[in-house]
Amino acid sequence: MASASIPSGALVLLQELDSSSSHFKQGASIRVTGKLQEYSVETAIAIVADGGATLAVDTQHLRLNLRVGSLYQFIGELSIQPNNEGILKARVGRNVDGMDLNLYQQSLKLLRQFQSDQISHLENLQ
Amino acid sequence: METLQNTHVKLLAFDFTSLTPSSSQPKSAVYRRGTLLVSRVETLGIVTSRDHKPDRFLQFTIDDGTGCIPCVLWLNQLTSPYHSRRSPPDVRLIAESAINFATLIQIGVSARVRGKVTVYRGIATML
């Protein structure tokens, strides 16, 4: 089944995405959320920001009406440039205006806790 | 053996992808971690792929950040022998609602999906 080969975009906060992050590697599939700070129609490069951190997103494959100041979520693969900066090659994007980013961070923390608890529970069963 | 076969069990994708087929139970049942028997599942995520075969099916993927769940929405109700045993007005209603869902399932939308779990080519799939 072709769709089964599509990797899941790991939930990452922009603040966590520095060069020391385990997600900061060539081809890593991630999902990021942030406010659109800049957008160039010529290059289709968008800059999203959250909590003081920013990330460049290549939106050339998306059919999305991007507005500066709105919140967006992108899923795609990270490409590390020669200057060690990451750019997300987005394959999915959506507007998430109205989303409470603080609540999102809290729920992400709970989700990670749940997932690690479940995985350790599973290991104990084996 | 604990069983939750008559309800839609809310599962994250990492949990869904680790479901294992049941050998002794009905074909539609699967095990969660070898103990809990489930056959219907509910999940929430972003649609990341979409393959539409009109009048046949819509195959799509739900990504919730912990994994991807392959899903199939059948669109063949008006032609399949399985549905010919049911009353035609009912089948038309089911077919219409399936077509409506198919138009809602677009790449990038957030979707809550419910369905039966089947194992297709070794991969758990939601129907």
CATH code of the domain containing A77: 2.40.50.140
Residues A51-108 pLDDT 10s? 999 999 999 999 999 999 999 999 999 999 999 899 999 999 999 999 999 999 999 9
Question: What pLDDT, on a 0 to 100 scale, did the predictor assign at position B34?
Answer: 66
Interface contact B108-A64, CB threshold 8 A = yes
The residue among B36, B43, B46 with the most chain A CBs within 10 A of its CB, best to mutate, is B46
Percent of chain B with pLDDT over 90: 43
Percent of chain B with pLDDT over 70: 87
The answer to the question of residue B127 being in a domain is: no
Interface contact A75-B46, CB threshold 8 A = yes
Q: What is the CA radius of gyration of chain B?
A: 15
The answer to the question of residue B126 being in a domain is: no
The answer to the question of residue B69 being in a domain is: yes
Overall average pLDDT of the B10-19 stretch: 90
Residues B67-116 pLDDT 10s? 999 999 999 888 888 888 888 888 899 889 899 999 999 999 999 999 88
Contact B112/B126 with Cβ under 8 angstroms? no
Q: Is the model's pLDDT at A3 over the cut of 60?
A: no
* Domain count within chain B: 1
Interface contact B49-A94, CB threshold 8 A = no
Rounded CA gap, A85 and A4, in Å? Answer: 30
Q: Which residues of A touch B (CB under 8 A)?
A: 1-4, 6-11, 31, 62, 64, 73, 75, 91-94, 111, 114-115, 118, 122, 125
The answer to the question of residue B14 being in a domain is: yes
* Domain count within chain A: 1
CA-wise closest residue to A96 among B62, B69, B108, B65: B108
Contact B48/B107 with Cβ under 8 angstroms? yes
Helix and strand tally (H, E) in chain B?
A: 3, 8
Please, which pLDDT band fits residue B4 given cuts at 50, 70 and 90? confident
Residues A5-55 pLDDT 10s? 789 999 999 999 988 899 999 999 999 999 999 999 999 999 999 999 999
The ipTM is 0.89
Question: What pLDDT, on a 0 to 100 scale, did the predictor assign at position A1?
Answer: 42
Rounded CA gap, A78 and A28, in Å? Answer: 5
B120: nearest CA in chain A? A1
Q: Is the model's pLDDT at B40 over the cut of 50?
A: yes
Residues 6+ apart with CB under 8 A from B65: A8, A9, A10, A11, A31, A111, B13, B45
Rounded CA gap, A7 and B63, in Å? Answer: 9
The answer to the question of residue B92 being in a domain is: yes
Q: Which of A6, A11, A122 is closest, CB to CB, to B61?
A: A6
How many other CB atoms sit within 10 Å of the CB of residue B124?
20
CA triple B119-A125-A12, angle to 5 deg:
70
Contact A93/A67 with Cβ under 8 angstroms? no
CATH of the domain at B60: 2.40.50.140
Q: Which of B14, B34, B51 is closest, CB to CB, to A3?
A: B51
Question: What pLDDT, on a 0 to 100 scale, did the predictor assign at position A39?
Answer: 96
Percent of chain A with pLDDT over 90: 83
Helices of type H across B1-127: 13-16, 81-84, 88-104
Structural domain boundaries, residue B7: 2-119
Structural domain boundaries, residue A93: 2-125
